[in-house]
Amino acid sequence: MSVSLSHLGYKRLSKAIFEWQAADRAALLAVFIVIEVFLHWLWCLFVWWQQDALSAYVNIPLLYPLWFGITVMGVFFWVIARHLSHPTKKNNAFNTWQLLLVVPYAFYIAIVIVMMGYSSLFSGVTLVGGAMLGMMLIKRSYAWRLFLLQILLILLAIVAPYFGIQLPNLRYLTAIYPAFDPHNYLTYNESMVLENTIAATVFSDAALGWDSVSNWQLSTIFWRATHVFLALPKAIFIVYMFRILLLILDDSKTEILKHANQDELTQLKNRRSSLVQMKKALLKAPDGQDFSVILLDLDWFKSVNDNYGHEAGDQVLSEVAQTLLPLLTEESIVSRYGGEEFLIVLPDTNHEQAMTVAEQLRRSIADHVIHIDSDKSCQVTASLGLYTLTNEERTVIKREYENVTQKEKQSQPRPANAARFYRSRQGDKQVLTAQLPSDICQRLICIADKALYEAKNRGRDQVVSANRILESEDRSITVSFGT
């Protein structure tokens, strides 16, 4: 794959980070290095063009070997980028080319930092930014070792003058000349402090006018601008890269949550997500509210697949799902429970209201015409089982569960983290309130499923209430929820 500047866009970089082959990502890093080297080359060109004005601040004879070295390294890194754009099948060869990219770069950037005057801004951006980009685009162990190598080289450059080693430096210290040798090695920060100190002693009013600046501070201004020019584009680009990375992570998080909680075919909640929301809604339901559950199953769905094909079956499921939504409130929880079954949870809905909603859903599905293609269409029906957990029944369940848990507590030591009960104070009296059973949602769905099975036995395309079945059989809620 050919790598170019067009790959710096959001979508291209997103693809590069997550979808490209290792060689393509390494080639992209090589392109970034070529761009950085080109900025250095432009700086040398500018100094050469303005050498008459800048010769007092820049060691022009030393500029030429540096410029030549930058040119050679630029060509070298460009060749590396071109080679990495054509990945090799041999892993060892690819690792060698990665090392040929990062090791020379570490020495190159250390030399540039030393010759242009050590600056915490320039070196800091180079060290941290280069390592972060490397972690994203090449083998992480190589990026880490490159980071350590750059730190070592810069530390050696810092301590070298204290051992009498004179390193090449492009900068003339004109503001403090002739107090020091113009070729004396001082770091950028040290020389800046000295120049500011001398300027402060010369100008008693502590204010530097433009005339004074032209005479005393042009060297400092030029070298400050140089280090900003060398560091700022790279810093902006690194922030831009990590902004893109964060956007990618946000998009990935949204996509992951969507697939984790949503059924891909119907775009409804999936089974796991609906059960989680159902349990939360049930636990948060205040006293005095009923809680209804509807289990819906399409009739003779297998015949749709057999007669029209599985694609038509998928279309039926998708259109039925979209038929359900307009008839339900925002508080309702509707999901594809499995196969051709749908689960509808209606918080704060009594039995009569839930029966009305269920009947509306049944009629809407039966009346909906599904156009499979230009000359084929079909209609399906649904059977629904409904169960409403009344507030009184929920109170009985809690009391029954409290008795069971109390017996368990007496029969065996209770773990310290087993918080089964919550105490609330009403006046001077403490009331012990038990949680609902952990499988309460499955119990409600199981009862609704029995009503659904009865609807199938009665001929399908109808709604059956589990509450009415239980009343006719004269069953108590204690028996239904007994452990």
* Distance in angstroms (rounded) separating the CA atoms of residues 41 and 66: 9
Q: Is 236 exposed, middle or buried (0-12, 13-18, 19+ CB in 10 A)?
A: exposed
Q: What is the pLDDT of residue 389?
A: 92
pLDDT tens digits for range 14-60: 555 556 677 777 888 888 889 889 999 999 999 999 888 888 888 89
pLDDT tens digits for range 290-344: 999 999 999 999 898 888 888 999 999 999 999 999 999 888 999 999 889 999 9
Segment 174-182 shows an average pLDDT of 46
Cα dihedral value 462, 466, 472, 477, nearest 10: 180
Segment 438-448 shows an average pLDDT of 89
CA-nearest of 215, 209, 228, 334 to 281 is 334
pLDDT tens digits for range 232-262: 888 887 788 777 777 777 776 766 666 778 8
pLDDT at 429 over 60: no
Q: What is the pLDDT of residue 432?
A: 33
- Domains, in order of start, for the chain: 5-258 (no CATH), 271-420 (3.30.70.270)
CA-nearest of 87, 90, 115, 89 to 28 is 87
* Distance in angstroms (rounded) separating the CA atoms of residues 217 and 211: 10
Helices 60-84, 91-115: inter-axial angle, 10-degree rounding:
160
Percent of the chain with pLDDT over 70: 74
pTM above 0.75, yes or no: no
Q: What is the pLDDT of residue 3?
A: 45
Query: On the CB side of 289, how many CA atoms lie within 13 Å of its CA?
Result: 13
pLDDT tens digits for range 87-131: 555 667 778 888 888 889 888 988 888 888 766 677 778 778 778
Percent of the chain with pLDDT over 90: 27
pLDDT at 379 over 70: yes
Q: CB-based contacts of 286: which residues, under 8 Å, 6+ apart?
A: none
Q: What is the pLDDT of residue 299?
A: 93
